[in-house]
Amino acid sequence: MFTLDQVRCFVAVAQELHFGRAAERLNMTQPPLSRQIQKLERSMRVQLLERTPRNVVLTAAGEVFLRASIELLDLADQAPQSALSVAQGYEGSIQLGITVGAAVSVLGDILKRTSESLPKVHLELLEMVTGDQVDSLRSGKIDLGIVRPAFDPVEFHSQILITEDLVLAVPSESDWGRDGAVVTSKELKRAPVIMQSPKQARYFYDLILRKFEIDHNNITHVVTQAVTMLALVSEGRGVAFLPASSQALTVEGVRYVSLDESGKDVVELHAIWNPSNSNPALWRLLSALK
């Protein structure tokens, strides 16, 4: 097996086509330079140079090896800096778990901040609901989760990203919120409501029941995804509570109206991570997100 020192010696001779000039370039004498080239050729079992009394000529194999050697030395020179950059969190990759709601509300800003602050860090996006993100953080499948509460604040560290209002998605032809009027909790007591699932979307389910007096007899459908809720609203099956960022989802036959103070700044979105995570890039990203 050849060494990098032997490769450097070969490149110098191959570029100078003269042992004396190559030795001077490498700050060494000619005899040890010749021995390094001989060891290289023996280890490869290939003649790389043809030596004549007047000059040095590359063989066909030598020309091919020269191109590869230059690339090899470039990589070897870059490797320590790349390793340091990765160790400091400026290079690498982060597995990011994200919900559909987070994709609508904060993903664009996260990607922008990452590209601006950490251009050599790659974010791999994995769509999953909050429960799956928690399991993936435990197993190390993802480095960072973008989730709704609740999660265990002892097991996971967190950073709140945004708080936003709840809004009401209503059929376009309905009288709800006409002329910019807000809808009150009292008005919603007898409204047909499309609710989030108490299993897959527990946070929203609990939040809505805590903030509004919803009669369970008036719940027409229980679903998980916002797009499904909006499709049902467009069919006149009821109204639906959604975070304000969901207004980016435009569905024909649906409009959004504001709620009273019960819906103001009540929806939270957090970044959470396992404090034992050893990925240096994660800590750089968390600083950028602040």
Q: Mark which of 84, 101, 120 sits at the end of a domain.
A: 84
What's the pLDDT tens digit per position in 143-166?
999 998 878 888 999 999 999 999
Three-state DSSP at 284 gives helix
Residue 104 and residue 52 share a domain = no
Residue 112 and residue 43 share a domain = no
Residue 278 and residue 145 share a domain = yes
Whether 161 maps to a domain, the answer reads no
Q: What is the pTM of this model?
A: 0.69
Answer whether residue 225 shows pLDDT above 90.
Answer: no
Q: Mark which of 49, 67, 84 sits at the end of a domain.
A: 84
Task: Determine the pLDDT at residue 130.
Answer: 83
d(CA 50, CA 56): 6
Whether 138 maps to a domain, the answer reads yes
d(CA 232, CA 190): 18
Task: Determine the pLDDT at residue 242.
Answer: 95
Task: Determine the pLDDT at residue 137.
Answer: 95
Residue 96 and residue 145 share a domain = yes
**Percentage of the chain with pLDDT > 70?**
100
Task: Determine the pLDDT at residue 264.
Answer: 93
Task: Determine the pLDDT at residue 273.
Answer: 95
Residue 237 and residue 199 share a domain = yes
Q: Mark which of 57, 84, 111 sits at the end of a domain.
A: 84
Residue 283 and residue 152 share a domain = yes
Task: Determine the pLDDT at residue 289.
Answer: 84
DSSP calls for 230-252: HHHHHTTS-EEEEEGGGGGS--T
Task: Determine the pLDDT at residue 261.
Answer: 92
Instruction: Read off the pLDDT of each residue in 47-73 and give the average, rounded to a whole number.
Output: 90
Residue 76 and residue 106 share a domain = no
| Dihedral angle sign, alpha carbons of residues 25, 27, 30, 35 | negative
Q: Where are the alpha helices (DSSP H) in 45-192?
A: 60-87, 100-105, 107-117, 130-139
Instruction: Domain of residue 52: give its range.
Output: 4-84
Residue 58 and residue 117 share a domain = no
Q: In which region does residue 166 sit, left (phi positive, over 0), alpha (psi from -120 to 50) or beta (all else)? A: beta
Residue 183 and residue 122 share a domain = no
Task: Determine the pLDDT at residue 280.
Answer: 93
| Number of domains into which the chain is organized | 3
Three-state DSSP at 194 gives strand
Q: 140: domain CATH number?
A: 3.40.190.10
Whether 283 maps to a domain, the answer reads yes
Whether 35 maps to a domain, the answer reads yes
d(CA 50, CA 58): 6
Instruction: Read off the pLDDT of each residue in 98-103 and give the average, rounded to a whole number.
Output: 80
What's the pLDDT tens digit per position in 171-201?
999 888 887 789 888 888 888 999 999 988 8
Q: 26: domain CATH number?
A: 1.10.10.10
DSSP lists the bridge partners of residue 97 as: 126, 145
Residue 244 and residue 173 share a domain = yes
Answer whether residue 54 shows pLDDT above 80.
Answer: no
Residue 171 and residue 148 share a domain = no
Residue 210 and residue 131 share a domain = no
Whether 277 maps to a domain, the answer reads yes
